[in-house]
Structure 1
Amino acid sequence: MSELYQLKMSLKTVGDELSGTESKIAKKAGDPSASIKEIQELKSHKVELQERFDVLKDRHDHLEKEQKSLFQQNKSTLEGVSDPKEKVVKAKAELIRSTIRERPISTDVKAVLGDRNSTGGEKILPTTMTNELLHEPFVKNPLRGISTYTGITNLEIPKITFTLSDDAFIADTAAAKEIAADGDVVTFGRNKFKVFVPISETVLLATDTNLVQTVDQALQSGVAAKEKKVAFNMAPADPYKSLSFYGVGISEVEEKDLYLAIRSAIADLHEDYRDNATVVMRYADYLAIIEKLANNSVVLYNAQPEQILGKPVVFCDSATNPIVGDYRYSHFNYDPEIIYDRQKDVKTGIENFVLTAWFDHKIKLKSAFRIAKVTPEA
């Protein structure tokens, strides 16, 4: 039962008693046999009832005003908006503002964003925002274009996508040994992380488009940064060792310079993976290779990286040592239930829109990758 409804019931009860007491006072005053003491007692009781009524009415009017204001806000947020994209932006803006200001989310907003939360107890990020956050390509995360991404709870998948009925072996002996040692199924876990988006009052009062763009870009950048951090961590500590290319035991190929190391790493891959291989490396390392190969000639500077290295190249400053391989076997999986909340930064007074998510990154087959390294000088 809501507080406003309880107040309405209490107001009626006290109001009825107050009205009845006023009638009794008038009746007693007109009765010559009634004592003055009885009238005074009724008048004193009336004063008490009036004070109770006034307190209840003040609280009732305050809550009713808030409710009407919230109704008008929600009504003006989506009513009359016909463009589906604009409606989603406005709904997102209302969700963010309501979260920061700890207001209830209207049913209209939940409906537009595809709310999955049937209990009303948890703050689960609606379907629309979750899908955009996890499945739209992010410019700031180069793995988004080549790795596999899913959003499935308790995901388990086979390492090999197909077999032949008349084959008693896997063509790649390294893959066969890996599967024999580690099993043929990949099981994804849940690693918790948070993204904090500081939101000032100025941003909250900005246009819906500006507010949503600010929050969306910050959340996407935060998720992308977390993915890169774990995937390219050079010294991963347990229990996150299995999330890093450098921590799972991928074979290393060493040569006297990086160009030869990358070419040898490509050649060292089994043909099943080599045909679909991509080189992920730092742009600075690529420029150093071009500088050495060009030998003061400008021709190589105009060539595409794939023409130089023989495979498509994706630049990522986090890739300390180049990683060559079939990135379909690099797999990120998110738990679809992503939670949103608010937190105030006591140091600055700025409110944070907080996203909590769970994900895992698995190298489904280590044999599908090689790490290119330069042989240390003796």
Structure 2
Amino acid sequence: MEMNRFKLQQMEEGVKAQLKTESDKLTNMYVDVKTTAQERKEQETTVRDLEERFEGIKNKIKEMDEKEAQKIAAQNKNKNFGNNEKDKKIKAKAELIRNVMAGKEVTKEIKNVLGDGEALGGGNKMLPVTMTNELLYEPLAKNPLRGISTMTNITNLEIPKITFSLDDDDYLDSDTASAKELKADGANVSFSRNKFKVFCDITETILKGTETNLVQVVDAGLQSGLAKKEKKVAFEISNPTEASFYKKSTESGNPFLIKAIEEDTMFESIISCLADLEDDYSENASIVMRKIDYFKIIKNLANGNSSLYTTQPELVLGAPVIFCDLATIPVVGDFRYSHFNYDLEMYYDRDKNVKTGIESFVLTAYLDHKIKMKSAFRLATVKSNTP
């Protein structure tokens, strides 16, 4: 079975971590008078084996990247840029960006290519439909919750917390956490409008460069800005709001609004969180945690067994694992009940930093994140600093 790049990269990270551990062990053995020559020789063999595996995996990734780059280059060489629908949209987006940065009105023709120009009207600053959709639903965006959380772009959104009902009123056991939550907080959730801006700096060189490069730079900058804001809102721990998984509780017994499960180790806590979820949530549960915490768990579980570093995280912890650098406390649950909504239309403008002289393409958006059912999640906390 051919290994894809993602799995190879996971293997590379695992072997790299194990290589560091074994290399450090070998270094300590050199200065430890109690170790024998045979023990040091065996440890050297282990380190060389890991080095060879690490280089082999790295070369395989490089080979895959080179093949993909050659494939893209061949496609670009063989096509007549500007004739297909994708190229027309890239050209229109580049013209929109250049017009905005030059202080010119964005024409109806440009908006017709990127969205409904008639509906948008002439001369206003709404972001065209195509650009909005790509910014919100592009799978390569850097918010790891995209793909497991719900993403919408609906004005004045109000939705039911649970999207089904039965003719029997007792379908939801009144003793479950879900039933108590629905009774306490209501069956519907309404999204609010929280305004923020994303600034994408554009140099004169980029602005005058190729259309493809200009669009790539602006798209990447705006996507990264939106994704960073989404992550910060969902995992804010210093001053958390209702939009954060870490919103504090005023009631005694649980420090957070979401139920926290505390165990001696993070591994035990995550397993307990999965076990504590109701069936409707556990079947679709995922684990969002920091990569450094996962590798600490692996280091403890491996106990010198390097094969565990290359095992899929899902097989180790019992549910799909998504890494997020802001998830300081692992969040376990059904992330379909984590919902990001962008209200109203996105607006564009330009801004200039008078100190640097660099101009920015500015995007204004309205975001809210709702945890539709807190019962669908658990927080994995530990009694000590031990992972």
Structure-1-length-normalised TM-score: 0.75
In the TM superposition, residue 167 of structure 1 has moved relative to its aligned partner by 3.8
AA aligned opposite 1:252: A
Report the counterpart of residue 62 of structure 2 in structure 1. none
Q: Over residues 43-100 of structure 1, what are the superposed CA-to-partner deviations in whole Å (9 max), with x where a residue is unaligned?
A: xxxxxxxxxxxxxxxxxxxxxxxxxxxxxxxxxxxxx942111111110000000001
In our comparison, the structure showing a higher alpha carbon Rg is 1
The one of 335, 338, 345 equivalent to 1:337 is 345
Cα distance between partner residues in 2 of 1:119 and 1:301? 56
CA RMSD between the two structures = 1.6
Sort the Cα spacing of 1:302 and 1:187 in 2 relative to 1 into closer, same or farther, 3 A: same
Partner SS, residue 170 of structure 2 = coil
**Does the aligned pair in 2 maintain the 1:330–1:363 contact within 8 Å?**
yes
Cα distance between partner residues in 1 of 2:238 and 2:187? 27
Report the counterpart of residue 372 of structure 1 in structure 2. 380
**Does the aligned pair in 2 maintain the 1:151–1:336 contact within 8 Å?**
yes
**Does the aligned pair in 2 maintain the 1:91–1:109 contact within 8 Å?**
yes
AA aligned opposite 1:179: L
Taking the TM superposition and a 5 Å limit, the aligned residue runs for 1:306-325 are 306-325=314-333
In the TM superposition, residue 106 of structure 1 has moved relative to its aligned partner by 2.4
Partner SS, residue 335 of structure 1 = strand
In the TM superposition, residue 266 of structure 1 has moved relative to its aligned partner by 0.5
Question: 2:243 aligned with 1:243, yes or no?
Answer: yes
Taking the TM superposition and a 5 Å limit, the aligned residue runs for 1:1-378 are 81-115=82-116, 118-171=120-173, 173-237=176-240, 241-247=241-247, 249-376=257-384
AA aligned opposite 1:168: D
Partner SS, residue 243 of structure 1 = coil
AA aligned opposite 1:250: I
Q: Give structure 1 stretches of 5+ with no counterpart.
A: 1-79
Cα distance between partner residues in 2 of 1:94 and 1:288? 49
Q: Give structure 2 stretches of 5+ with no counterpart.
A: 1-80, 249-256
Cα distance between partner residues in 2 of 1:161 and 1:236? 31
Report the counterpart of residue 35 of structure 1 in structure 2. none
Cα distance between partner residues in 2 of 1:271 and 1:141? 27
Cα distance between partner residues in 2 of 1:163 and 1:92? 44
In the TM superposition, residue 269 of structure 1 has moved relative to its aligned partner by 0.5
Cα distance between partner residues in 1 of 2:347 and 2:109? 20
In the TM superposition, residue 139 of structure 1 has moved relative to its aligned partner by 4.1
Partner SS, residue 306 of structure 2 = coil
Q: Over residues 153-206 of structure 1, what are the superposed CA-to-partner deviations in whole Å (9 max), with x where a residue is unaligned?
A: 000000111121124241471011111111100000011010001111111100
Cα distance between partner residues in 2 of 1:335 and 1:137? 20
AA aligned opposite 1:201: E
Structure 1 ranges of 4+ moved more than 6 A: none
Cα distance between partner residues in 2 of 1:289 and 1:375? 15
Cα distance between partner residues in 1 of 2:105 and 2:156? 31
Cα distance between partner residues in 2 of 1:370 and 1:83? 48
Cα distance between partner residues in 2 of 1:124 and 1:146? 28
Cα distance between partner residues in 2 of 1:182 and 1:292? 41
Q: Over residues 102-153 of structure 1, what are the superposed CA-to-partner deviations in whole Å (9 max), with x where a residue is unaligned?
A: 1122232121111455443530000110111112223411100100011100
Cα distance between partner residues in 1 of 2:126 and 2:108? 14
AA aligned opposite 2:245: F
Partner SS, residue 246 of structure 2 = coil
For this pair of structures, how many residues does the alignment match? Answer: 295
In the TM superposition, residue 335 of structure 1 has moved relative to its aligned partner by 1.8
**Does the aligned pair in 2 maintain the 1:253–1:264 contact within 8 Å?**
yes
Partner SS, residue 338 of structure 1 = strand
**Worse overlay, 151-160 or 119-128:** 119-128
Cα distance between partner residues in 1 of 2:169 and 2:275? 25
In the TM superposition, residue 251 of structure 1 has moved relative to its aligned partner by 0.4
Cα distance between partner residues in 2 of 1:224 and 1:138? 10
AA aligned opposite 1:83: N
Cα distance between partner residues in 1 of 2:179 and 2:199? 43
Cα distance between partner residues in 1 of 2:237 and 2:82? 50
**Does the aligned pair in 1 maintain the 2:270–2:380 contact within 8 Å?**
yes
Cα distance between partner residues in 1 of 2:198 and 2:160? 31
- Aligned-residue sequence identity (percent) comes to 59
AA aligned opposite 1:330: S
Cα distance between partner residues in 1 of 2:330 and 2:120? 46
AA aligned opposite 1:374: V
Partner SS, residue 144 of structure 1 = coil
